[in-house]
A and B are shown apart, each in its own frame.
Chain A
Amino acid sequence: DIQMTQSPSSLSASVGDRVTITCRASQTINRNLNWYHQRPGKAPKLLIFAASILQSGVPSRFSGSGSGTDFTLTISCLQPEDFATYYCQQSYNNPWTFGQGTKVEIK
């Protein structure tokens, strides 16, 4: 199975900050990488698919980049509703696997 490793596991930031989360795959996954966020008590929500394509309705302050094994999610100007846990997920090979999550907390 492909292992997905996110860093950091958690971070503290302020409204308006630029935030970057990284995700590394244990083998190449081309651009088959998706990003989700999850607010407490809610289901995960797709933000970005295919490494860099913004899901419909997702604000443009979210962006994704990378290919192969290394990927990045950037939030350009953190908003109050962005405090959540973020997950990467590969869809290159079965079983589809997730990173362990990055919790973005209020500083």
Chain B
Amino acid sequence: ELQLVESGGGLVQPGESLRLSCAGSGFTLSRHWMSWVRQTPGKGLEWVANTNQDESQKYYVDSVKGRFTISRDNARNSLYLQMNSLKAEDTAVYYCAKHGSYSFDHWGQGTLVTVSS
């Protein structure tokens, strides 16, 4: 069974950093585009970043450019999101999602990131 499991969320202060991880199982992560998507009560669902199979292409939503970095370790079947200079507006549940047929066809259970002083 295909599974995605996120970890690494928590409570941090503004300006601090956090690294999220997403472990895949039941499929070969290296064969797929992967994304991070976040969800807040106020803004709903928002795509954050994605990367292609060999990391030669990476894209980010404007609000996180220069602060967040998406990466992957295909040998570990894992996806990462390095988040620096965190702001209160980055507070959200962060999901990793596998791409399929120009959609997000599988999602992890999410990890909560809270940025607050």
Could you say which residues of chain A place their CB within 8 Å of the CB of B105?
Answer: 46, 49, 55
Complexed CA–CA distance, A43 and B44 (Å): 13
Q: How many interface contacts (CB-CB < 8 Å) are there between A and B?
A: 54
**Cβ contact within 8 Å between A87 and B45:** yes
Complexed CA–CA distance, A50 and B102 (Å): 8
Could you say which residues of chain A place their CB within 8 Å of the CB of B108?
Answer: 43
What total of chain B residues lie within 8 Å of the partner, measured CB to CB? 20
A60 within 8 A of B: no
**Cβ contact within 8 Å between A50 and B101:** yes
**Cβ contact within 8 Å between A91 and B102:** yes
**Cβ contact within 8 Å between A49 and B102:** yes
Complexed CA–CA distance, A49 and B101 (Å): 7
Could you say which residues of chain B place their CB within 8 Å of the CB of A32?
Answer: 102
**Which 10 pairs, one residue from A and one from B, show the smallest C-beta to C-beta distance?**
A43-B107, A91-B102, A98-B45, A49-B103, A34-B103, A96-B47, A49-B101, A46-B105, A100-B44, A95-B61
Q: What are 27 A-B contacts with C-beta separation under 8 Å?
A: A34-B102, A36-B104, A43-B95, A43-B107, A43-B108, A44-B95, A44-B104, A44-B107, A45-B107, A46-B103, A46-B104, A46-B106, A49-B101, A49-B103, A49-B105, A87-B44, A89-B45, A89-B103, A94-B59, A95-B59, A95-B62, A96-B47, A97-B47, A98-B45, A98-B47, A100-B44, A101-B44
